[in-house]
Structure 1
């Protein structure tokens, strides 16, 4: 099944099963390259999967055997990273403030398209100083949030007020190469795994300290995404190296996690092609989003916490949340 959307219903009156998940199936876009040459497929796939087209392009090139040397690989990965920066910036400067009732920082968002100086200035604006937050301690982060001198700090302050560390905490192992191969073969993950931008930041001092203190909390997940944005803005080394390609299999980091492409080429044409998005893992039955939502306390604030939880997972397909009330269903 190709996941096109996920419908979630929260019914607080149902004490046995307050959360219901209904995956929505859609057509498989990857089938459009069957019968085409690898060159045609490489050009077409980033347009078909245009949400994270750069990352899909990098994974497709590797899967199709189209890597034309280290310079070409580096260029593709640079495009994918710029895409991550734009996605993160939109979240940090617009979507997250809106979620927490703050004003979006549209002026700062406009700097994304500028040169290196503009981007470094944006990083300093987001960090209210040194953009190397990854080297900070958990206590440093707490003080930075309390100071509230940057838009990102103010968002995290609202998040801390809304959700204690244990609320919505859930964690699964990252998929291995064997897991990817099995999922691509079967068309669905064989077991619960997660792949999010947090994976690449686990060794950073700040994230390691947060994981030790409060686990994979909502705050930890938001912080990892902020760090990925800051690192991209100042052109710091990418903390998450792309796994090595193998014949017919290519992977690349997107803003939402690690995606994979698998290709079979026979007699110069593509005869089979499969794509596995991060949401195939994170939104799977019993997967990360299910576990995060079912870890939320049931009460008046649950719908708001659910929206925060969904933002922390950052799905790549629409997730529609419906809340059942005595007056009828509301879309949250």
Structure 2
């Protein structure tokens, strides 16, 4: 996949608050720039600028999208060069235990706050608190949604035949793994399959699975063992020594939504709402956990309970999205204040310095 751009989320607005997997993707990189500064827009603009310069040059790039603005990037990795650039400000936390000697923090704050009128400073403080409150409200809504979702899962778990579920998983493992990997150091990258955003749920399933020869679509209701199957696949892949891409659920980060072993050319993923897909090409296969493992007639028997649970769940998901949209709207107001005090010449200087660094890495 030379010249390919892999797009994914490494951070997410979840039922457990803001959750991230940046460390998993930055680990092992030699030269990393961690951007700091009040303006998220300036950091995103710089990352996009670097991305645009290196796109179309027969390089595989990794574009880390922002869950708060999914059309924008919060990170870029050129793994071939050992290079990365990432927005490192709160709520992100870049782990210290694996930071290399050539990792560098760049402070993009060139604003002279002392020259800003006191009324503007107060407005920044007010808007920042209001934005953070909107995020907190979103996380509370998603947490409430997860509690409802747990009830949904229990209803189906109580009607599930676990021996049949084990049989389905075992059959799938035999299809996926015909041999062990050749002896090499195994790597695992953890990401999110999708993210809750101000626009609603967003995912990059089509992009992530592009080029794979087989895709297995796990169907079924909540609690029918999809994540459990994926965890079994992970354990088997680790035992056999394969490189792994593990995609966590953007709603409940403890749950898995997709596993990929590119060396074997396949992906297995939870293909239900809000990331529901259907077979569209040769090599696609559906595995319906509800049909294969749950007592027939369960949907009909508990129709009223299911309808009420679904209503409550959608209500909380809608509330969470509205709060995220509110947080973005407030942040846009903050950005308009920051932009009035930005030094574009300084941003150009930082960009050209980073470009020089990447060119040096490309020669090595």
TM-score range, shorter chain: under 0.3
Structure showing greater radius of gyration is: 2
Higher helix fraction (1 or 2): 1
Higher strand fraction (1 or 2): 2
TM-score in terms of structure 1 length:
0.24
